Amino acid sequence: MSSAPEGKLEGKVALVTGASSGIGEATARMLAAEGAAVAIAARRADRLRALGDELTAAGARVHVIALDVTDEEAVRSAVASTVETLGGLDILVNNAGLMLLGPVEDADTTDWSRMIGTNLTGVLHLTHAALPHLLRGQGTVVQISSVAGRVAVRGAAVYNATKFAVNAFSESLRQEVTERGVRVVVVEPGTVETELREHITHAPSKAAIEERVAKIRQLRSTDIAEAVRYAVTAPPHVMVGEIFIRPTDQA
């Protein structure tokens, strides 16, 4: 009797932030299906537990972490508990994010602080905490950035600013660590059908984006997980630096 084919990530440990929905959830499923042990982190622990139970039942080793990525101490504990529970850290997927669109004029600046804390400072602290482990095992950091990290548009100023910053940080980090075997991958999706837009507080911006996306075939979270799979399962000498992925219908 032939046994099932081995996943390409057997023996690897991954930590995915924002794994309670959307792209992060799909990425955690993909990594587990490839044989990785996965630490899944986000604030909604109930959702994580349900996902964790499902992945465990399918044979994966899973560590569930209730985490707010804006809390630096909690971020450091999350990395430490991943290493302790799952035996190391080879792949960090910085995915947790918020897209609180709206004009600069009259903006609710608490939206800005939340986006900067989640999309940028959270990514910096997670990467910093994970780096010693990634350097030890020649691991990979995957940043779920955005088309918004390459192209600025009216009504997205601070979301654009956070994602441009992630891209700049990632290119500088790449130059610092690539010769020591650590790969830094930036994934830049266009519109993906997830809960991301539900959190927009500026009603006209929310209505405008809902109207725009209703006319197109959006990407699915699994499309982005496939892009991550391509990068993290590439041979160690191959550094897939950037994946820009848009819906065909998005001009």
Ligand X SMILES: NC(=O)c1ccc[n+]([C@@H]2O[C@H](COP(=O)([O-])OP(=O)(O)OC[C@H]3O[C@@H](n4cnc5c(N)ncnc54)[C@H](OP(=O)(O)O)[C@@H]3O)[C@@H](O)[C@H]2O)c1
The residues carrying an active-site annotation are: 159
Task: Please give the size of the binding site for ligand X, defined by CB under 6 A.
Answer: 28
Q: How many residues does the chain have?
A: 251
Q: Does 196 bind ligand X (CB under 6 A)?
A: yes
Q: Does 189 bind ligand X (CB under 6 A)?
A: yes
Q: Binding marks (x or -) toward ligand X, 36..65, rule CB under 6 A? A: ------xxx---------------------
Give how far the C-alpha of residue 76 lies from the chain's centroid of Cα atoms, to the nearest Å: 17
Shortest Cβ 200–ligand X spacing (Å): 11
- Encode 98-115: b = buried (16+ Cβ within 10 Å), e = exposed: bbbbbeeeeeeeebbebb
Span 200-239, contacts to ligand X by CB under 6 A: none
Among residues 14, 16, 20, 140, the one that binds ligand X under rule CB under 6 A: 20
Among residues 79, 144, 228, 240, the one that binds ligand X under rule CB under 6 A: 144
Shortest Cβ 121–ligand X spacing (Å): 10
Among residues 17, 127, 160, 205, the one that binds ligand X under rule CB under 6 A: 17
CA distances from 201 to 72, 74, 120, 189 (A): 25, 26, 20, 22
If the CB atoms of residues 96 and 131 are measured against ligand X, the closer one turns out to be 96
Q: Does 179 bind ligand X (CB under 6 A)?
A: no
Binding site for ligand X (CB under 6 A): 17-18, 20-24, 42-44, 67-70, 95-99, 118, 144, 146, 189, 191-192, 194-196
